[in-house]
């Protein structure tokens, strides 16, 4: 290994991350995240599990068509039908990978697969052979490797490398391993598998004991050259290793790691905010790297130290993850040039003059309500969904919230050019507003998630609301931001309803009066 080894960053936010309970994303949102990951220079994007649903298939297909800067990977069990479905979804990708897996731990083989170890090897070899005939690049994972028998693991790995797998991923599926053990396991596998030099070894660690990042990094020290991770550590149960922590540790401790990543770290913060805003999963304030407090210094001693020399209490620069220091705060007197300069600082590009004008109008609208516009506000505005093209738009609303009466809301909507009005009581202001909207649509949606997050601090901060609604098994997310939380909630709900209304796979899309 040389000092310049590339550590491959394999992001699975769109696959394992989406398996987090309550983190479903719709196709447009997945494409938005895939674009942000590609901008971040992620080497491999695991875009989904095409056999799992038509939605997953289409998402992988669309991402494969759109993204040309990263390799697009699709997951498949060690079954022919899964692999062919994955290959089909990937056919427009510039660079593609099929990732096939089968469990190898005694408990999984006996209880889940009901297969003998010999049958598992046979299925794995067959799967890799089919995958190799259908994709230029094949990854194999022995699921629950962290609890598998070492000799069996080496045996199956040798056979799948012979069958054409070029990446061998070692998952700690249940997050059971300790850092020293897991690192040692990787080293021993590489040393004991006779053809190990023909593959890149990867790790995929879950965070059940809070050790996903430590286990991944220990493996890198012992020869792994791919890490599977997710933005903000999203993932099944307690999540996966957090991409931002892996990348910034390797970058900050180059004295320890003999490899580095291709990640454009200045885009980390933007990516983290986007994933949090789309999933409605807020980032905890003390989260390493991307938490609101990660670069905040509260105590007088620390502040004094930082003023004298930044390195006294900071091991990384906030700018390196995309937080702009000496930030220019914008307000209602700021013009187009100030906004353009701020966007350049924040690495935000607008696709056309029209989209810049749209952003500028929304910026002015916000500046009328809010004294100071911070970087987070601009990022939120630029990530905002294009509401102007929606069929159902809010014209006006009023909500009465009086401690002695039931909350009451009146809503006026423009539905495809016509005005409709409704009112309702509710258990709270948001409930009343949602009930009033429900009177204007003649299909039922089930609200699965309602989450509010403040974008900046202060009572005039924009509140960002994410809702998830389900209609006939189709799940959509809606987002809204405003300084008024009830209005942000209404915008989020209407955003979701518009997506349902425009979904060609749903039949009931009639609105009252149309």
To the nearest whole angstrom, how small is the minimum distance from the Cβ of residue 206 to Zn ion? 6
Among residues 214 and 495, whose Cβ is nearest to ligand KIV?
214
Terminal C-alpha separation, the chain: 67
Tell me which residue has its CB nearest to Zn ion.
16
Pattern of binders to Zn ion over 16-55, x per CB under 5 A? x---------------------------------------
DSSP assignment string, 186-254: HHHHHHHSTTGGGSEEEEEEB-TTS-HHHHHHHHHHTT--EEEEBGGG--STT-B-BHHHHHHHHHHTT
To the nearest whole angstrom, how small is the minimum distance from the Cβ of residue 395 to ligand KIV? 46
Q: Cα–Cα distance between 422 and 394 in angstroms, integer?
A: 12
Distances (CA, A) of 362 to 216, 221, 459, 463, 490: 42, 48, 20, 15, 17
Among residues 17 and 478, whose Cβ is nearest to Zn ion?
17
The reply on whether position 139 binds ligand KIV by CB under 6 A is: no
Among 95, 101, 140, 363, binds ligand KIV (CB under 6 A): 101
| Residue carrying the six token digits 């391993």 | 177
The reply on whether position 139 binds Zn ion by CB under 5 A is: no
Among 164, 171, 183, 280, binds ligand KIV (CB under 6 A): 171
The reply on whether position 245 binds ligand KIV by CB under 6 A is: no
Count of C-beta atoms within a 10 Å radius of residue 11: 30
The reply on whether position 18 binds ligand KIV by CB under 6 A is: no
Three-class DSSP category at 403: coil
Count of C-beta atoms within a 10 Å radius of residue 328: 11
Among 173, 232, 249, 279, binds ligand KIV (CB under 6 A): 173
To the nearest whole angstrom, how small is the minimum distance from the Cβ of residue 203 to Zn ion? 11
Count of C-beta atoms within a 10 Å radius of residue 230: 29
Among residues 46 and 377, whose Cβ is nearest to ligand KIV?
46
Q: Cα–Cα distance between 199 and 133 in angstroms, integer?
A: 18
Among 18, 29, 143, 377, binds ligand KIV (CB under 6 A): 143
Pattern of binders to ligand KIV over 191-230, x per CB under 6 A? -------------x-x------------------------
Provide CB contacts within 8 A for 167, sequence distance 6+: 97, 137, 138, 139, 140, 199, 200, 201, 202, 226
Q: Which does 61 bind (CB under 5 to 8 A by kind): ligand KIV, Zn ion, none?
A: none
With CA atoms as reference, report the closest residue to 513 among 429, 435, 446, 413. 413
Q: Which does 30 bind (CB under 5 to 8 A by kind): ligand KIV, Zn ion, none?
A: none
Crossing angle between the packed helical segments 375-383 and 353-369, to the nearest 10 degrees: 130
| Binding positions for ligand KIV, rule: CB under 6 A | 16, 101, 141, 143, 169, 171, 173, 204, 206
Tell me which residues touch Zn ion (CB under 5 A). Answer: 16
């Amino acid at each position: 290994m040389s000092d310049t080894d590339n550590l491959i960053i394999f992001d699975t936010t769109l696959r394992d991350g989406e398996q987090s309970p309550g983190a479903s994303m719709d196709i447009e949102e997945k494409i938005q995240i895939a674009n942000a990951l590609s901008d971040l220079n992620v080497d491999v994007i695991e875009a989904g599990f095409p056999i799992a649903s038509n939605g997953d298939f289409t998402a992988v297909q669309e991402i494969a068509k759109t993204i040309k800067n990263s390799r697009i990977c699709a997951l498949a069990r060690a079954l022919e039908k899964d692999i062919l479905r994955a290959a089909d979804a990937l056919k427009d990708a510039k660079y593609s990978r099929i990732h096939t897996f089968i469990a190898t731990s005694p408990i999984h083989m006996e209880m889940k697969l009901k297969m003998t170890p010999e049958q598992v090897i046979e299925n794995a070899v067959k799967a890799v052979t089919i995958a190799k005939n259908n994709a230029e690049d094949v990854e194999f994972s022995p699921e629950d490797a962290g609890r598998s028998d070492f000799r069996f693991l080496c045996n199956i790995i040798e056979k799948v490398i012979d069958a054409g797998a070029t990446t061998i991923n070692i998952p700690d599926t249940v997050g059971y391993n300790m850092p020293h053990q897991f690192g040692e396991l990787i080293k021993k596998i590489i040393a004991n598998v006779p053809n190990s030099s023909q593959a890149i070894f990867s790790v995929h660690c879950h965070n059940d004991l809070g050790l996903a990042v430590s286990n991944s990094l220990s493996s890198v020290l012992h020869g792994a050259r791919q890490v599977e991770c997710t933005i903000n550590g999203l993932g099944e149960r307690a999540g996966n290793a957090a991409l931002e922590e892996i990348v910034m540790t390797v970058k900050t401790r180059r004295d320890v790691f003999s490899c580095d990543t291709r990640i454009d770290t200045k885009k980390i913060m933007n990516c983290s905010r986007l994933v949090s805003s789309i999933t409605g999963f807020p980032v905890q304030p003390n989260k390493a790297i991307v938490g609101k407090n990660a670069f905040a210094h509260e105590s007088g001693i620390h502040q004094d130290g930082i003023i004298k020399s930044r390195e006294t209490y900071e091991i990384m620069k906030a700018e390196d993850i995309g937080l702009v220091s000496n930030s220019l705060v914008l307000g209602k007197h700021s013009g187009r040039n100030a906004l353009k300069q701020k966007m350049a600082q924040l690495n935000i590009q607008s696709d056309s003059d029209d989209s810049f004008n749209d952003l500028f109008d929304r910026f002015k609208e916000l500046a009328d309500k809010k004294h100071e516009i911070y970087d987070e506000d601009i990022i939120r505005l630029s990530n905002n969904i294009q509401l102007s093209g929606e069929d159902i738009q809010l014209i006006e609303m009023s909500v009465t919230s009086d401690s002695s009466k039931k909350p009451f809301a009146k809503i006026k909507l423009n539905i495809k050019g016509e005005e409709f009005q409704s009112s309702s009581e509710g258990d709270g202001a948001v409930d009343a507003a949602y009930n009033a909207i429900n009177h204007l649509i003649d299909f039922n949606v089930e609200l699965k998630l309602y989450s509010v997050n403040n974008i900046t601090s202060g009572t005039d901060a924009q509140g960002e609301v994410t809702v998830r609604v389900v209609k006939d098994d189709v799940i959509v997310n809606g987002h809204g931001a405003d300084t008024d939380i009830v209005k942000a909630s209404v915008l989020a709900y209407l955003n979701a309803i518009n997506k349902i209304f425009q979904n060609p796979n749903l039949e009931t899309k009639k609105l009252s009066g149309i």
